[in-house]
Amino acid sequence: MKRLTSSFVVTLLVISFIMGISLATLGAEKKVVINSYMADPAPKETLKQLVAEFEEANPDYAVTINTYPHEDYKTLIRTWLPSKKASPDIVTWFAGERANTFVDKGLMMPLDDIWGEGKSFEDYFPRAFKSISQFEGETYFLPQSWYWWGFWYRKSVFNELNLEEPITWNQFLDVCKELKENDYTPITIGSKFRWTAAGWFDYLNLRVNGADFHMKLMKGEVSYDSEKVRKVFEHWKELIDKGYFIENHSSYSWQEGAKFLFNKEAGMYLMGQFIQDVVSDEKIKEDLGFFRFPIIDASVPIAEETPTDGYMIPKNAPHPEAAKKFMHFLATRDAQWFFAKKLNRIAANKNIEPENYDPMVQKGLQMINRSDKVTQFYDRDTKPAMADKAMDQFVKFMAKPGQIDQILRSLEAERKKVFE
């Protein structure tokens, strides 16, 4: 027993020793702590390199990155933000409603003085980004990069079957039919974590009812239980009834869903550009193409989803001045270009010429430039509680497409609960 007690004492001593050492290293003068959700290797490494570059140019600064798994990050950020002691100096976050949620509660610091002498937000970013970065007249969000959504397919499969990228809904249906007849499942999806289904709802609503109606719906201003929304589900139902979606998709994560596209079991996948991050085989990567979500009603102005990621400084940041210096660096053309190029994203900084990008990225950029409106994404545009309940209904609809009436009623009931 004596041994047990003494080993306990020894362990405690060892711990205090380790703690002492770690405290001693906290001495660096201008410290910046970034909490980041970029846990995938490519973005994680890129941010690390950016930090190294910044530290080289500013030797008196020490920047630490604490990386958290994506899902946990979204939970834990709410423990740090209100805390005076545990708050980081910079957090990675999402533009639009999600950023506004924190700004609204007074938890974020305005960024109006990071731009440098005589410069402003607009010297760095296109005007269009104002609506997702500025709230009540002040800038809170620093956009880093964004990506586009589209239907991804294997060029070799389309060549083999002599298929062309469809432009209209009817052409799209023909492509599905052709794929199905040739023993491909036309559309793959992994709906286990639900948001992939929300992507479908967003795009169908944008194409059927347009972006203005969609944003009203997101803000809870109009009813879900309407003919307009029903039409969205009816288009969706057509695909489900014809068996165009892959079976048992709620068993798969989005990455597992992508596998069916990579191994040529399925023909197309509605997904963001980051699908490229999970292709390990270079040959498949080159064989991937994408096209715009088909036009359903030509009279509806085209809108696209462009989820934007970036950074914010919490109100309780212990080193705001140093943080702002780093934020300035992140906004610069060079830093933005470095990040975007590495990951095939599109930089938010407006001073990067489109020709610099990879041809595929240029195609995505053109697609967005030709569109009339942009939105973020279902769970970034509406309130979290609404998004959670609605995404369940979307997945349920895909399993039980006959229950449109009930689903519309539940969605409307939830909207009333959340927004009224």
Partner 1 sequence: MSKKRILWVGSFYLIAIVISLIWLFPLFIAGTTAFKSMSEVVQDVYWWNLPDNFTFKYFLEAWNQGGMSRYFLNSFIITVPSVIGALFFSALGGFALAKYRFKYNKLILGIFIAGNMIPFQMMMFPVFRISNLIGLYDTYLAVILFHISFQMGFCIFFLRNFIRTIPTDLLDAARVDGSSEFRIFLQIVLPLTKPALAALGILEFTWIWNDYLWGLVLLASDNLRPVTVGLVSLQGEYLSKWNIISAGSLIAAAVPLIVFLLFQRYFIQGLMMGASK
Partner 2 sequence: MNKRKFAPFKFLLIPVILYAIWVIAPIFYTIFLSFTQWDGLTAPTFIGLGNYVDLLNDPTFYTALFNNIKWLFIYVLVPLPLGLVFALFFNRKLPGVKIFKTAIYLPLTLSFVVLSQIWTWIYQPKYGAINVTLKALGLGELTVAWLSNSDIVTYSLIVVGCWPQTAYTMVLFLAGLQNVPTEVMEAAKVDGANKWQRFWKVILPLLKPATIIAVAVTIIQSLRMFAIVNVMTRGGPFRSSEVLANYMYVEGFKNYSMGYASTLAVVLFLIILLFVFIYLYQIFKTEVEY
Rule CB under 8 A: choose which of 66, 120, 168, 182 binds partner 1.
66
Q: How far is the CB of 345 from partner 2 (least distance, A)?
A: 26
C-beta of 81 vs 218, nearer to partner 1: 81
Only one residue has tokens 């830093």, namely 335
Verify binding: residue 193, partner 2, rule CB under 8 A.
yes
Pull the structure tokens for residue 165: 């990228």
420 binds partner 2 (CB under 8 A): no
| 324 binds partner 2 per the rule CB under 8 A | no
Check residue 58 for interaction with partner 2 (CB under 8 A): no
Joined together, the tokens standing for residue 41 give 């290797």
DSSP conformation class of 96: T
Q: Which residues 6+ apart lie within 8 Å of 251 measured at CB?
A: 192
Q: Rule CB under 8 A: say whether 388 interacts with partner 2.
A: yes
Size of the site for partner 2 (CB under 8 A): 28
Distances (CA, A) of 264 to 267, 268, 269, 317: 7, 9, 11, 49
The answer to whether residue 243 forms part of the interface with partner 1 (CB under 8 A) is no
CA distances from 411 to 123, 260, 354, 414 (A): 42, 31, 41, 5
Q: Which stretch binds partner 2 (CB under 8 A): 7-15, 233-241, 287-295, 384-392?
A: 384-392
Q: Does 416 bind partner 2 (CB under 8 A)?
A: no
Among 30, 44, 192, 350, binds partner 2 (CB under 8 A): 192
Count of alpha carbons within 13 Å of 101, Cβ hemisphere only?
Answer: 17
Nearer to partner 1, 68 or 338 (CB): 68
Cβ distance to partner 1 smaller for residue 69 or 116: 69
Residues 230-249 that bind partner 2 (CB under 8 A): 247-249
393 lines the binding site for partner 2 (CB under 8 A)? yes
Q: Of the ranges 38-46, 70-78, 124-132, 322-330, which one interacts with partner 2 (CB under 8 A)? A: 70-78
Q: Does 220 bind partner 2 (CB under 8 A)?
A: no
Q: Is 88 in the site for partner 1 (CB under 8 A)?
A: yes
How many C-beta atoms lie closer than 10 Å to residue 339's C-beta? 22
- Contact flag: residue 81 with partner 2 (CB under 8 A): yes
Q: Is 281 exposed, middle or buried (0-12, 13-18, 19+ CB in 10 A)?
A: exposed
Question: What one-character-per-residue DSSP string does 119-173 give?
Answer: --HHHHS-GGGHHHHEETTEE--EEEEE--EEEEEEHHHHHHTT-----BHHHHH
Residue with tokens 């039409």: 231
How far apart are CB 106 and partner 2 at their closest, in Å? 8
Distances (CA, A) of 130 to 35, 95, 368: 24, 10, 17
Q: Which of 32, 54, 62, 67 binds partner 1 (CB under 8 A)?
A: 67
Name the minimum Å distance from CB 80 to partner 2: 11
In the complex with partner 2, which residue's Cβ is closer, 49 or 83?
83
**Separation CA 396–CA 158 (nearest Å):** 31
Comparing CB distances to partner 2, the nearer of 154 and 194 is 194
Q: If binding is defined by CB under 8 A, does position 356 make contact with partner 1?
A: no
| Of 11 and 182, CB closest to partner 1 | 11
Regarding 105 and contact with partner 2 (CB under 8 A), the answer is yes
413 binds partner 1 (CB under 8 A): no
Contact call for residues 304 and 148 (beta carbons, < 8 A)? yes
Query: In terms of Cα–Cα distance, which of 330, 323, 370, 381 is closest to 167?
Result: 370
Query: How crowded is the C-beta side of 279, counted as CA atoms within 13 Å?
Result: 21
Please choose, from the candidates 392, 372, 386, 407, the residue with its C-alpha nearest in 3D space to the C-alpha of residue 219. Answer: 386
Which spans of this chain sit near partner 2 (rule: CB under 8 A)? 74-75, 78, 81-82, 101-102, 105-107, 191-194, 247-251, 256, 384-385, 388, 392-393, 395-396, 399
Which spans of this chain sit near partner 1 (rule: CB under 8 A)? 1, 4-5, 7-8, 11-12, 14-15, 18-19, 22, 33, 35, 39-41, 64-70, 72, 75-76, 79, 83, 85-86, 88, 253, 255, 259, 263, 278, 280
